[in-house]
Amino acid sequence: MKILVTGGAGYIGSILVPELLNKGHQVTVLDNFMFKQLSLNHLCVFDKFKILNGDIRDKKLMKSLLNSNDVIIPLAAIVGAPLCNKDPYSAQSINSDAIKDMIKMASKNQMIIMPTTNSAYGTGDKNNFCDENSPLRPISKYAIDKVEIEKLLMARENSISYRLATVFGMSPRMRIDLLVNDFTYRAFHDSALIIFEGHFKRNYIHIRDVVNAFLHALNNLDSMKSEIYNVGLSDANLSKLELCEEIKKHLPNFTFVEEKIKKDPDQRNYIVSNEKIEKTGFKPKYSLSDGISELIKGYVMLKNQSFGNF
């Protein structure tokens, strides 16, 4: 297939794009390289790899790229509440306005496979349980925009929305600010952590299983299109305290305490069902423990706060 990946040099794209190329697809990446990343350098040897330094807000550029591709995987975004709060103009113009334009310009025959977010659940029902039919209660601007975009996606026939759990794991374009990555980083380098509202739960997924989910969609477009899927580890609906206990199994000297006075600005708290995508035949390959082991290896090499979306 001819596949356009916007933001393809980012955290997820830097793992996804090599896999697409290895599967024989023709891949065009559009990225503005805002983090000065070099994560796709090794792919220039592929004849089927095309790279452009540009902006998804450039309508003329996007229209030309859309016209020459079968599948669009829109990864370009201002990701995470802190970065969105820091640059609200870019968050609005990239996460919302540019994606709306892209959906309008795309042919009805083109497939869009888009990551949204299960943070849109905000806080679940009285049992904090959420599946794809649960009410959405987005808290952050990032999640609110993703909910709006998802509605537009589902109004067209050839779209798949992946409500991703909190992603973890190493990538050539690393993000240390994601929760598992962050807690493991602090455990490895500082051996100590103060947490707020440690009972809050969320779901997690390894970055390579996110990539595997995209590959799974490409192999099952007809049966999966026009649907929303949660993508996470069914055995990893964990509270922050439970996550710290998992990390401590790998780093026994890790000490963590819960601060009872302050509130976490991120009020997400939910337990997510991933049964729907599992029924399509998708099964994650990497456990939370696998990811923590991987991160510890990576943090031998990394001690630099530039590896994040801050």
User: Which CATH number characterizes residue 260's domain?
Assistant: 3.90.25.10
For residue 158, being part of any structural domain is answered with yes
Residue 189 and residue 209 in one domain: no
Q: How far apart are CA 70 and CA 284, in angstroms?
A: 26
Rg of the chain over all Cα atoms, to the nearest angstrom: 19
Residue 63 and residue 146 in one domain: yes
| Bridge partner residues of 29 (DSSP) | 5, 51
For residue 306, being part of any structural domain is answered with no
For the entire predicted model, the pTM comes to 0.95
pLDDT per residue of the chain (310 residues) written in tens, 0 to 9: 999 999 999 999 999 999 999 999 999 999 999 999 999 999 999 999 999 999 999 999 999 999 999 999 999 999 877 888 888 899 999 999 999 999 999 999 999 999 999 989 987 666 789 999 999 988 888 889 999 999 999 999 899 999 999 999 999 999 999 999 999 999 999 999 999 989 999 999 999 999 999 999 999 999 999 999 999 999 999 999 999 999 999 999 999 999 987 777 677 889 999 999 999 999 999 999 999 999 999 999 998 666 656 5
Q: How far apart are CA 290 and CA 271, in angstroms?
A: 21
Q: What is the dihedral of CA 265, 146, 185, 301, to 10 degrees?
A: -150
Burial status of residue 260 (CB atoms within 10 A of its CB: 0-12, 13-18, 19 or more): exposed
CB-side neighbour CA atoms (13 Å) of 57: 12
Residues of the domain holding 126: 2-167+205-231
Residue 190 and residue 153 in one domain: no
Q: What is the dihedral of CA 6, 7, 9, 14, to 10 degrees?
A: -80
Residue 149 and residue 196 in one domain: no
Domain tally, the chain: 2
Indicate the SS3 state at residue 151.
helix
Residue 110 and residue 249 in one domain: no
Indicate the SS3 state at residue 271.
strand
Residue 21 and residue 60 in one domain: yes
Residue 158 and residue 76 in one domain: yes
Residue 310 near residue 177, CB atoms below 8 Å: yes
Residue 219 and residue 109 in one domain: yes
